[in-house]
Structure 1
Amino acid sequence: MVETATPEGAAAVRRPRRAKGLWLLLLVAVLLGLMFASITVGSRHVSWPDIVAALGGDTEGFGRAAVAKRIPRTLLAVLAGAALGLAGAVMQGVTRNPLADPGILGVNMGASLAVVTGIAYFGLSSSTGQIWVAITGAAVTAVAVYVVGSLGRGGPTPLKLALAGAATSAALASFITAVALPRGDIAESVRSWQIGGVGGGTFDAISQVLPFLAFGGLVCLLSARGLDLLALGDELAAGLGTRVAAARAGASLGAVVLCGASTAVTGPIAFVGLVVPHAFRMLIGGDHRWLLPFSALGGAALLTAADVLGRIVARPAEVDVGIVTALIGAPVFISIVRRHKVRAL
């Protein structure tokens, strides 16, 4: 039996359900392999006995301590990557914009400004408080960018949304610098955090952010059918019984929660939500029932691989994942602009 992907112009692809299932299993295997590499590979060489002992809870010695530190770092990379990949796929479906991405639309930068402002002026220190503030900042920025991109003739076209997001990101980045620069006590940590990375991952941070990511991920996955109908156009979706505004708002809520929560613990990481959904849309088509799980696993794999690569290329120093994903994502962004000519999905 052949399943037809949701129409998305000439890019719509037919793939047998069994083939999609096999690709999904392969992706899970790749992710598990990358997680193992993330635990074992780094600036310090570790032996197999150290790895086994550290996984068992023994952290005595440099090698075992290094492995013990890499475990929460790896889990954070998986969770943040999955959140960003899933949020990017949902944003592209909601806006029908091939350039939609938490970084490009300024959502991550809005979350960052909210957190930095809270730390600088209101003494925000708790992890849970930072997550709530980041989600609020992400939501306000998402609404503002959509409103600005909707002004004028033609409504919220992909080009207008991308330009509004780019302008908003630049403005918010300047505001972050203005807030942090006079505060010498936080300026250095803010600059480092703004690059985006998972090196500071801890089990405590993961336990704080996990409920938010679980909620946002569940909302996004439940929105799959609504996104498929929205891809047909608002009028046809409404004619098929979909409450268009509610479907769009629900999916957007899940994406905003994922973006805000992940940004609060890793800093703003761009391009994961752009690259991953496009790659899997070409592979399995535009059916969101498949695209969303693929995007989550693909985002986790990409961010984990970027973290491993960042540890290898500049030994004994490290390159933060935000830099690696930018190097990967920028050429893909240019390619998408040229191929789609910034029209729509």
Structure 2
Amino acid sequence: MNIITKSGQKKVLSWNVIKLKDNNGKTTGIICSGEDITPRKIAEEELKHANDYLNLLIRIAPIATIVLDREQNIVTANEKAMDLLGYANDEIIGNPISTIISNNELLEFTDKNDLSIELLKKDGECIDANIATSAIMDNNNHKGLIVTLQDISELRGLLIAPSIEENTERKDTLELEGSYTYIQDSGDLNASYDIFSTMVKQGRPGLCITRENPAKIRSKYNITKTPIIWLTKTKTSEYPSIDPTELFKLHPTIENFIKKVNDGIVLIDGLEYLILENDLKSVIKFMEQTNDTIMVSDSRLILQIDPLIFDTKDHHLLKRWMRSLTDEDTYND
């Protein structure tokens, strides 16, 4: 029962009624007692709002997420999870988690990251997944478990097969010392591509990562076999592509390529696009990781940037360990 006190406060009362009876069982009166349960009702309402907000976050999360009850039955699955596993919502809700784990194991009610597990899709396909779990507690008891799922193949980047240009040109040789990252920050876009195309036509395995349309790059520089990765949000079957928001895929893609080749060359053009979709610190960290990979190989990397988009401090932070392609003694032809 809701009441309003003399001071104007709203209260919620819980009433108990006891009948008073005489020796013959006849009701002679009642005793009514009321308990103020306002704090409990407020707590319940706040908990409901918190649960609704959590469910909303799970539904719109950009990563596959499921929620289990204390018996490890699936009670919530967002669209990403259903896409990953191949189920419709009504097909997966209520099922035990063991039905989507290939060895039928249950998960521990604990907070864990970077667990590797094999998931079983509806069509019977098994996929290696990286999962993280977060326990939902209620008065120190296990109430449920939030589980995020990621297909490991999507975390590893692209597997690019090296390919050598058929019509190699060896008359005018050009040399860039291996194990170094070179920066072209003069604003001359053609210079980086000219060097890259010349070196792959000399027979070196190359990888181009670009914001430009790969078809135009191939046509302009007569590159026919060298793999080109397109930095774009538009997926295409003609060229391998990486969404600029998936920065985490770039380093493993480059690393995998570098491990497959000897005396290779990588060109990155589109750092400005990556910075638009990610924070500058993350992009610089990606370049640091990539430079570490280059330094322990006999390959080299060319980074093409527009210096006008950086302030002076960030520009120097980015290029402090790189060699400049504008220096006359950097390369010999």
Please tell me the TM-score bracket, short chain as reference. Answer: under 0.3
RCO higher in structure (CA 8 A, sep ≥6):
1
Larger Rg: 2
Structure 1-normalised TM-score?
Answer: 0.23
| More helix per residue | 1
Structure 2-normalised TM-score?
Answer: 0.24
| More strand per residue | 2
